[in-house]
Amino acid sequence: MSRGRVDVRTDLEQVFRGHYARVVAVAARVLGSRDQAEDVAQEVFLSFGRSSVPADEAGGWLTVAATHTALNLLRSGRRRSSREEIAGDGPAVAPDVADLVITREERSSVRAALARLPHKQAAALVLRHSGLSYAEVAAALDMSPGSVGTTVRRAESHLLEELNRHASPE
């Protein structure tokens, strides 16, 4: 009795299975690499396992934690080379819109641009594109809900400037 597992949440497996794919997708949005995203997810669930976050708030918490952790990793320079992205990652094609074909090179510059954005702006962008509502993004980042749209729009403009391609009319 002296040694055994302590403080392991009884709901951990259920939360893990229910949210794992989503957490990986959030981290992959930042890192562009599934392997690294899975490392981040493992870390985030480890933190979750030690926390007392209520299970019904797990989704939001995990999304925010994955975003911050992945952004930190992206900036830390410990990120592996783009080897994995190059290996086998064809361009993502959204069939209806020819403009949405994003080349590998562009993918890589998007991530470089993401790493250069102010942390809060980058986090707001990733959280929004991960499906959090404006109110949730505002709560997670301690912003006013009214400023989320402006912050996200600004981040998108920055990224597209890096890509040198705007969908805007001019």
Size of the site for another protein (CB under 8 A): 90
- Specify whether the CB–CB gap between 43 and 78 falls below 8 A: no
Amino acid at 55: A
Binding of residue 121 to another protein (CB under 8 A)? no
User: How many Cα atoms sit within 13 Å of 3 on the Cβ side?
Assistant: 0
Binding of residue 116 to another protein (CB under 8 A)? no
Q: Give the whole-angstrom CA distance, residue 77 versus residue 100.
A: 29
Least gap, CB of 87 to another protein (angstroms) = 10
Least gap, CB of 148 to another protein (angstroms) = 7
Least gap, CB of 154 to another protein (angstroms) = 8
Pick from 81, 82, 112, 125: which binds another protein (CB under 8 A)? 125
Pick from 10, 11, 31, 83: which binds another protein (CB under 8 A)? 31
Pick from 11, 28, 121, 164: which binds another protein (CB under 8 A)? 28
- Specify whether the CB–CB gap between 56 and 43 falls below 8 A: no
Least gap, CB of 105 to another protein (angstroms) = 11
Q: Give the whole-angstrom CA distance, residue 11 versus residue 80.
A: 33
Binding of residue 43 to another protein (CB under 8 A)? yes
Binding of residue 163 to another protein (CB under 8 A)? yes
Pick from 56, 69, 81, 164: which binds another protein (CB under 8 A)? 69
List beta partners, residue 102. 92
Binding of residue 95 to another protein (CB under 8 A)? no
Binding of residue 33 to another protein (CB under 8 A)? yes
Q: Which of residues 134-153 bind another protein (CB under 8 A)?
A: 134-135, 139-140, 142, 145-153
Render 45-113 in DSSP notation, one character per residue: HHHHHHS---GGGHHHHHHHHHHHHHHHHHHHT-S--THHHHTT-PPB--TT-GGG-B-HHHHHHHHHH
